[in-house]
Amino acid sequence: MSTDSMHAMPPEPSSSTPPPSSRASRQDEGTAWLGTVLGWSAWAMFFVSLVFAVGWFRMRAPWPELPISRWAMGGTGLALLVGNGLLPLAVRRDLREPSATPFTPWVALGLGLVFLALQATWTHLAWWNEHLRIPEGGVPASAFYGLTALHALHVVGVMFGFFLVAVRHLRGADVRASLRRHVLGWRFVSGMWLFLFAAVYLP
Amino acid sequence: MSLFATDHKAVARRYLWSGLGFLLFGGLLALLIRWQWAFPGQPVPGLAWALPESRGALTPPTYTAVFTMHGLVMIFFAVTPLLFGALGHFVLPLAIGARGLAFPRLSSVGYWVYALGGVLVLASFGLRLGPASAGWTAYPPLSTSVFTPGLGQTLVTVAVLCAGVSAFLYGLNFVVTVVRCRAPGMTWGRLPLTVWGLFYASVLNVLFVPVLAAATVMVLMDRLLGTQFFVAGAAAVGGGGDPLVYQHLFWLFGHPEVYILILPAWGMVGDFVAFFSRKPAHGYRLTAGAMGAVSALSGLVYAHHLFTSGMSPVLGRTFMVLTLLISLPAEVMFLNWLMTLWRGSVRLTSPMLAALTTMVVFGLGGITGLALGAVATDVPLHGTLWVVGHFHLTMGAASFLGVFAGLYFWFPKMFGRALHEGLAKAHVLVSAVLFLGVFGGQLAAGYAGQLRRLYDPYQYTFLRHLLPLNQWTTACAFLLGAVQVLFVVNLVWTLRRGRAAGPNPWSVGTLEWTCAPSPPPEDNFPHVPVVLRGPHALSQPESLERLGRDWLGQAEALPGEPASASASEPPALGVVT
């Protein structure tokens, strides 16, 4: 989300307050932060609705065990959960050393790629080796492939955001504030993966 | 002006023209439906070019596509974009004293996503199997490729997703703008009621549009990827899914959508009855609170749409009670409007007439909805035209008149030119009367048992006597369509040769009228206003005594009144000195 031309409140002159431009910029950052938090929080309703639908199906009939080990699926999610711990540390380091190349986008891109590669491997194995197909697999197979793909699309979106931040940094822009905001996207996909794991991957 | 300009007023104008175009298109589709009910199977004059095989007559598949697209176009591409996209984008930053929306680029992106959806809708009409034809609700399994094959349904489903994304983006933008970008002194208690309406509706948008997106994406996956979420019965493979899940998800969005469409109009009615009764709004805080209560309850009542879909009686009773409860805050609001009018110096301007007629049609729509909120009366009425008449009064007529109330009110600010009042009043009054004729006729036909969506209702003996009623209703609908020419003529003439509007032609005190010229410059205000009072400072004795007029700007200090930071501000615009 752009903060370039955000409206800022008029500053009130005071000797103890920071200069107007810095206050306005802080307010812009606050506005962008609020927008990001509200946006992701509201968009969680998308996954809540998907989980509601899967819950409905699970109440109707027993949910079969997936052909892929739940440990493998759970281990895959660790890439996201580890990112939750690592990314704030990386952001802190990047904020401390503004002149250095930021770590955060690269950590995020690396962990995201690991996660997506593992998810792709499990779905590939499920389709080709274990013959879990749609439409023959009914709702469980639909939920496995469909919701995994929708979640993966969100992960790709968040990674793309980090990629753009890296590009902006290479072009010389100050990306510290956007780094903090983009970590919220990572938190979102991690949280939603927990939903996915509980609703779809566990029998 | 650039098509990609991010100024909220430019985005608003883009939404305005697109929304009016889709309103015209959706209205023409409505006339086709009415023609079919008055003269079933007979050629529509002038339509032979589009339907050469039937010489202009609607065939059953065409009729199904027409009523589907009418609903979709009106809700997702006409009324919502006009209320939020046009009026919301234009008014909200000006009314709170902001220089723009919190995220200007996001609002421009939102418009182009909406425009992409609009293009897909129009493109679907050129396809071999035609556009969507599974009803505006797109209930599966009818909306799956098993029962509605062809690209049209898919394109329109993607278009709805686009409209949803656009609504989510401007909803988020509006919420953040109201929370973060208010002018100094613009406390929550000083917000115009229109802003309250837009704010609550935006909260509902960001909460419930993702639910529609989830349901729509699952339908798309069923259509395109072969998933089985909603496919049931003989068409199902591997056990199959359950179409009822879609109904729950759809209405979890769909019922708040009713309030999304009416809350901004309610806000405008609240403001306009105060402005044009020259009185402060009666029970301002109660009205704002009542709108909040309606918004909170709106997500808890959705299952009354599913009384006939199969539901535990306990759930049915619970949703019935919640549904009937929502009428209480609505009543509070209504009574406050009436109390504002009481003993006011009522000026029947075109926005005021539109606001009053909104009250009338919404009141009637609300009362007829009570029968649908109670299980015992909903069951026999649910499949009939009663439902159609009810929701057209609330979502159609009330929202339409609300849009025109806002358009007539803010047009001088938007374009710097004043519309012809006589034409505007005639347009509003005749439209309102004809709305009552059309939708009242539907209520009567529904009460008599006419089922909705029937291609030829008169194939049933017990409905044949309703033909004259339907023909009368159709006549009202065609007249209603014709009356819109008044607006078109007024609009075109005013834009070309209309007289220049003053900065505050309505003599009211809100920021857009008192602190910004007409039309406002790119940054809205020469100086960011410092707000000193609420939006309805009308007929105040101090103002009459010291200024000799009955209104006071929200950022205007009375002579002798401590004006805090506004001391160096210029006097309110529109003041004749």
**Taking the CA of residue B175 as centre, how many other CA atoms within 13 Å lie in the half-sphere pointing to its CB?**
21
Q: Which pLDDT does position A17 carry in this prediction?
A: 56
CB contact under 8 A, A35 and B6: no
Does the pLDDT of residue B487 top 80, yes or no?
A: yes
Residue at A176 is within a domain: yes
Residue B512's H or E segment, with its range, is helix B511-514
Is there a domain that residue B355 lies in?
no
User: Is the CB of residue B562 less than 8 Å from the CB of residue B310?
Assistant: no
* pLDDT exceeds 90 at position A175: no
Chain B residues 5-64 with CB within 8 Å of chain A? 6
| Residue B121 scores a pLDDT above 50 | yes
Of A159, A158, A197, A157, the C-alpha closest to A47 is A197
Cα A150 to chain centroid distance, Å, stands at 12
Rounded Cα distance between B215 and B249, Å, is: 6
Q: Please give the tally of structural domains in chain A.
A: 1
The pLDDT of residue B3: 82
Instruction: Give me the percent of chain B exceeding a pLDDT of 70.
Output: 97
pLDDT band at B236 (very low <50, low <70, confident <90, very high): confident
- Say yes or no to pLDDT of A5 above 50: no
- For the stretch B331-352, pLDDT in tens is 999 999 999 999 999 999 999 9
Give residue-wise pLDDT tens across range B459-483. Answer: 999 999 999 999 999 999 999 999 9
CB contact under 8 A, B181 and A7: yes
Note whether residue B488 is domain-resident. Answer: no
Q: Is A38 within 8 Å of B215 when comparing Cβ atoms?
A: no
Interface of A with B in 28-87 (CB under 8 A): 30-32, 34-35, 38-39, 42-50, 52-53, 56-57, 60-61
pLDDT of residue B128: 87
Average of per-residue pLDDT across B386-402: 96
**Can you give the pLDDT at residue B563?**
61
Contacts of A43 in chain B (CB under 8 A): 168, 210
pLDDT number for residue B412? 97
Q: pLDDT-derived band of residue A21, with 50, 70 and 90 as boundaries?
A: low
Give me the pLDDT at residue B99, please. 95
What CATH number does the domain containing A74 carry? 1.20.120.80
Beta bridge partners of B456: none
Q: Is residue B409 part of a domain?
A: no
Q: Which of B266, B275, B200 is nearest to B403 (CA)?
A: B266
Closest-CA distance of chain A to residue B289, Å: 22
Q: How close is the nearest chain A Cα to the Cα of B239, in Å?
A: 5
* CB atoms A49 and B239 under 8 Å: no
Tokens for B428, please give them.
């509003």
Residue B381 belongs to some domain of the structure: no
Mean pLDDT score, B522-531: 94
Q: What is the pLDDT of residues B159-189, one digit of tens each?
A: 999 999 999 999 999 999 999 999 999 999 9
Does a cis peptide bond (omega within 30 degrees of 0) precede residue B40? no
B234: pLDDT confidence band, cut at 50, 70 and 90? confident
**B185 Cβ under 8 Å from any chain A Cβ:** no
Mean pLDDT value of segment B99-103: 96
Alpha-carbon gap: A135 to the closest alpha carbon of chain B (Å): 5
Looking at B349-398, list the stretches that DSSP marks H as alpha helix, in order from N- to C-terminal side. 350-373, 375-381, 385-391
For A39, nearest residue in chain B (alpha carbons): B172
Please state the pTM of the whole predicted model. 0.93
B104 touches chain A (CB under 8 A): yes
pLDDT score at B573: 56
The stretch B431-455 carries a mean pLDDT of 96
Residue B352 counted as domain residue: no
pLDDT at B1: 58
Taking residues B6-21, report their average pLDDT: 97
Secondary structure letter of residue A52 according to DSSP: H
Whole-number pLDDT of residue B139: 95
Nearest residue on chain A to B219, alpha-carbon basis: A146
Number of domains chain B contains = 1
Q: What is the pLDDT of residues B250-274, one digit of tens each?
A: 999 999 999 999 999 999 999 999 9
What local confidence, expressed as pLDDT, does residue A27 receive? Answer: 87
Average pLDDT, chain B: 94
DSSP, res B456: -
Bridge partner list, B500:
B417
**Contact A43/B528, CB-based, under 8 Å?**
no
What percentage of chain B has pLDDT greater than the value 90? Answer: 92
Integer Cα distance of B92 and B186 in angstroms: 13
- pLDDT at A16 (0 to 100): 53
Residues B263, B266, B267: CA angle, nearest 5 degrees: 90
Whether residue B558 is contained in a domain is answered as: yes
Count of A-B CB contacts under 8 Å: 142
Provide DSSP, A114-160.
Answer: HHHHHHHHHHHIIIIIS---TTTTHHHHHHHHHHHHHHHHHHHHHHH
Domain containing B517 equals 502-577
Q: Inform me whether the pLDDT recorded for B565 exceeds 70.
A: no
Span B282-297, pLDDT tens digits: 999 999 999 999 999 9
Mean pLDDT of B84-106: 97
Instruction: Give a yes or no: residue B118 inside a domain.
Output: no
Q: What is the pLDDT of residue A100?
A: 81
Give the range of the structural domain holding residue A82, as residue numbers without chain letter: 47-201
User: Residues B312, B206, B375, CA angle at the centre, nearest 5°?
Assistant: 25
Q: Is B538 on the interface with A (CB under 8 A)?
A: no
Alpha carbon distance B123, B156 (integer Å): 9
Residue B106 has pLDDT above 80, yes or no: yes
